[in-house]
Amino acid sequence: MPCLPRELPVHKLQGMPCLFVGVNRSPIERHALSPTGSYPFTNRNKSQKSKRKIEIMELDIKGAKDWGIGYKGDLPLLIAGPCSVETPEQTMESAMGLKGLGMHLLRGGIWKPRTRPNSFEGVGSMGLPWLKDAGRAIGVPVTTEVANAKHVYEALRSQIDVLWIGARTTVNPFAVQEIADALRGIDIPVMVKNPINPDLGLWMGALERLNKVGITKIGAIHRGFSAYGETKYRNRPQWEIPIELKRKLPQLPIVVDPSHIGGTREMIQPLSQKALDLAFDGLMIESHCNPDKALSDAKQQVTPARLIEIKTDLILRQNSTSDAGFYTQLEKLRASIDSLDTQLIELLGQRMQVAERIGQCKKENNITILQQARWDEISIQRTEAGEKVGLSDEFVVGLYNSIHKESIRHQTKVMNE
């Protein structure tokens, strides 16, 4: 049942709160003991503990405050700058405009991976000193994208402070390994954008390859996943994927890139707020002194002045409070959720027993398992019923795809007995 929250493994539970009903601790004490504020699923005691565990990856990773870039870790890590370094003047002007933003890293693309040829593919190595000079002028370290060993050597030679691996490179283990090999023995922070396809394994694989050559200053950048056809986003956020990454690697800083997720200026603010509300560690936002004239990603870049406004409007929420009333209320509500989830699981179990009886009837009458007309009827009726109680079509469709798949599994088992 991968959709259920599971308990943390025993070694992660040590020193964590007993958040079980009936344990004699105040809600604040209980919460204070939890480093994440996340609670085990139900009021099980130790002897009833589930055998299921969350797979935590064992990587040696340093938080961004230990990257040696002057970041203290008290605020979200803020990275801003143009999509591409175009000219010395454009880079300097963009950086100067961002001076008052309070950002921690100035970004600028030097080698641009463009989807189609004949687009601007970056100025190449000659732009590295322009970026570094702009960063020096405002007292901010700089970062750029590298896609092969040559990029790494050039960037290191120009004293670029932090590197990132782009989405089109993360998909290719050969390229990631080449970059990792070029970085062996070098102490530089490297951020890894998610692969363009929604594949958590590839993303983790890239992080592992870096860690295996001794790089410990590692971060991830969530820039969304490409999809075929019309979507509201340039790259679909599929937040569940970076959330799962955070669960597997709790110490990994994950920065969200609302520019590449949204693809438009208007979406930067709401996506940034969502990223902070989901407790991600920072933001990477594209900002250009003259966005309309930008040589790449013009639609998703904002002026430095607009970015300062966006930042001012962002609400920073905490991950805990000293208000005991909040935890009392939260615990009551979570107890209701636990009880409803227990009923849901019971009901789903009963539903599958009925599915097995149907499977038996089909077997006795030599009838196929899949009955398309019935499946169509269920899909339409359940989506309509869901709508009436405020459930989105997307959710109900996903839920019933899973339920139907499980039903087929049960019926297939009966059919082959």
- Residues near ligand PEP, by CB under 6 A: 83, 109, 113, 166-168, 193, 223, 260
Residue 7 engages Mn ion in binding (rule: CB under 5 A):
no
Start-to-end C-alpha separation, the chain: 23
- Residues 80, 98: contact at Cβ < 8 Å? yes
Give the residue among 198, 200, 173 at the shortest CA–CA distance from 261.
Answer: 198
The burial of 10, by beta-carbon neighbours within 10 Å (0-12 exposed, 13-18 middle, 19 or more buried), is given as exposed
* Residue 97 binds: one of ligand PEP, Mn ion, none (C-beta under 5 to 8 A by kind): none
In sign, the C-alpha dihedral spanning 141, 177, 260, 155 is positive
Give the other-Cβ count within 10 Å of 91's Cβ.
Answer: 29
Q: How far is the CB of 82 from Mn ion (least distance, A)?
A: 8
Distance CA 245, CA 351 (A): 32
Instruction: Give dist(CA 75, CA 78) in Å, integer.
Output: 8
* C-alpha span between 221 and 284 (Å, rounded): 8
Min. distance of Cβ 166 from ligand PEP in angstroms? 3
Which residue, 83 or 249, has its beta carbon nearer to Mn ion? 83
Interaction residues for Mn ion, span 346-365 (CB under 5 A):
none
Q: Token pair 């300062």 is at which residue?
A: 308
φ and ψ at residue 349, rounded to 5 degrees:
-60, -45
Q: Retrieve residue 401's tokens.
A: 């795809």
Cα separation, 114 vs 127, whole angstroms = 17
Q: Identify which of residues 42 and 170 has a Cβ nearer to ligand PEP in the complex.
A: 170
Closest separation in Å from C-beta 115 to Mn ion: 11
Q: Judged by CB under 5 A, which of 83, 85, 182, 191 binds Mn ion?
A: 83
| Contact between 176 and 165 (Cβ < 8 Å) | yes
Query: Which two three-digit tokens encode residue 119?
Result: 């687009």
Size, binding site for Mn ion by CB under 5 A: 2
Q: How far is the CB of 227 from Mn ion (least distance, A)?
A: 18
Query: Does 86 interact with Mn ion (rule: CB under 5 A)?
Result: no
Which of 18-26, 82-90, 149-157, 310-318 is the region at the interface with Mn ion (rule: CB under 5 A)?
82-90
Nearer CB in complex with ligand PEP: 168/363: 168
Residues 185-214 that bind Mn ion (CB under 5 A): none
Q: Looking at 68-76, 79-87, 113-121, 339-347, which segment touches Mn ion (CB under 5 A)?
A: 79-87
Q: Alpha carbon of 352 to those of 4, 358, 370, 372: distances in Å? A: 17, 10, 15, 18
Q: Which residue is nearest to Mn ion (CB)?
A: 83
- Residue 217 touches which of Mn ion, ligand PEP, none (CB < 5 to 8 A by kind)? none
Tell me if 297 contacts Mn ion by CB under 5 A: yes
Which of the choices Mn ion, ligand PEP, none does residue 265 contact, using the CB cut-off of 5 to 8 A by kind? none
For ligand PEP, which is the closer residue by CB, 30 or 223?
A: 223
Least distance between ligand PEP and beta carbon 272 (Å): 15
Positions touching Mn ion (CB under 5 A) are 83, 297
